[in-house]
Structure 1
Amino acid sequence: MRIALAQILSGPDPAANLELVADYTQQAAEQGAALVVFPEATMRCFGRNLAEVAEPLDGLWATAVRRLAADNGTTVAVGMFTPAEDGRVLNTLLVTGPDVDAAYDKIHLYDAYGFAESDTVAPGDKPLVLDVAGVSVGLTTCYDVRFPGLYTALAEDGADVIGVAASWDAGPGKVEQWQLLTRARALDTTTFVLACGQADPAALGLSPAGTAPTGIGYSAVVGPTGETLAALGPEPGLLLHDLDLSLVEAARRAIPVLANRRF
């Protein structure tokens, strides 16, 4: 299975960000990607009013993403915001493509390092595993990666590949934490982890928006025994990689942590 990680730097304008989705999706599809993962907050970067752009899954922005996926014959996973019942928004990962139309609402909200995502974002409560081109794929978002139990649950639900779409906050040691956590979750679950984050604004000479998490880059494909198979730096870019799914079966024979787990 060929996958692509689209490490973009989204801005405040959903229409401009949709153009990025169109460009990267076309590039990935032309190179044979069956799945293209975009970062969290692709619709609008953090640090701006999210409620004023949030729309339902049948709204104009999501419908345009569906059309892009259909036109390019590939599945797209992209971060957006949908209205919540309590006046906040949901941090939603839309997954759409041939025979796929689903959404995951971020379960673990980023109330850490002085930022309170829960002030404006309501949590989801349902893990998501779906079939993409015959491969069982689980989806997570950013801060979720700090919670091994969610990843184990996805693997137990059949996931051989787990995507994490992020807008990872910058700061001392944060690149190292991102790399450690994504590799650990792959090893915890003996799955491939597709870690796609927002690019680092500083790499383009831009200043972050206050205390909002605007990205560090370093998207990566991690193998089921925890090795980094391919990775980007801090700048925007498109990473393509061919997943050998037989490595999942081999890892689970060699390191049967899911079968041996007692707690």
Structure 2
Amino acid sequence: MEARGEKGEEAETGRITAQLLKAKTGDFDLESILLLKLRGLGLSDLGCLGECSNLEWLDLSGNAIAHLGPLSSLKALAVLNISANRITSLEPLASCENLQSLNAAGNLLSSLQQLQCLAGLRSLESLRLSSPAGGLSNPVCATLGYRIAMAEMFPGVKVIDGERVSGRGSELYQLCKDLDSSLKRFPSGGAGLAELASSAKPWVAEGYWDLRPARRSSIVDEAYKQFHEVLLECRELSKRADDTLSQCERALNLRPDPNSYVF
């Protein structure tokens, strides 16, 4: 029995199982899982992940995943990080109709055609295929005209590779980039200017303009709901305690002198 158990565990190495998900989240029902972090676990098979039908936030970064098939059933998924894996196709994500933010930097996506499947995601606001700070990219990012093609393919996306391309803040972002470039192109006629150019730093910190999509409100709403219910329960218990104390006080005031009892 023990030998078979050890063999079974070895066979499931790299595969997402119900036991793994329950151990990571503490939930006994896979449909109850809303947030899931499975970063850097050496995973290569998504296994039963598709059974987490209400999952909203998922981090699978730093694994060895090549196929995303099970994710096609995650209709509520809003935030997905699959960076630093071995993914060659994003096709299953076309069914994730509520997807707002996707980080797929550090994979094996090689052509713009492989991204076309995401064009129908109306909620998608942030798409990352390259992360210079983390040294992550995709072969497609080296394609001629990549940036322009991405903007045309995803007109509703506000942030591409961490840079705002539309929406509030995009103009200021571009202005800061232009100013940074100008500072770095100072003529070498003066030592002061040369020193300034060499020490020029971005006007904002790396990732400052990254879109942080608001989490679906169901998680926060549920927390508020539970807190409100507990608060009401505490108030009800307090009221009952006050009533009980009042009754006891009235009873004590009406009770005759114990010394008058005849036994």
Q: Give TM-score, length-normalised by structure 2.
A: 0.32
| Larger RCO, structure (CA 8 Å, separation 6 or more) | 1
Structure 1 or 2: more strand by fraction: 1
Structure of greater Rg: 2
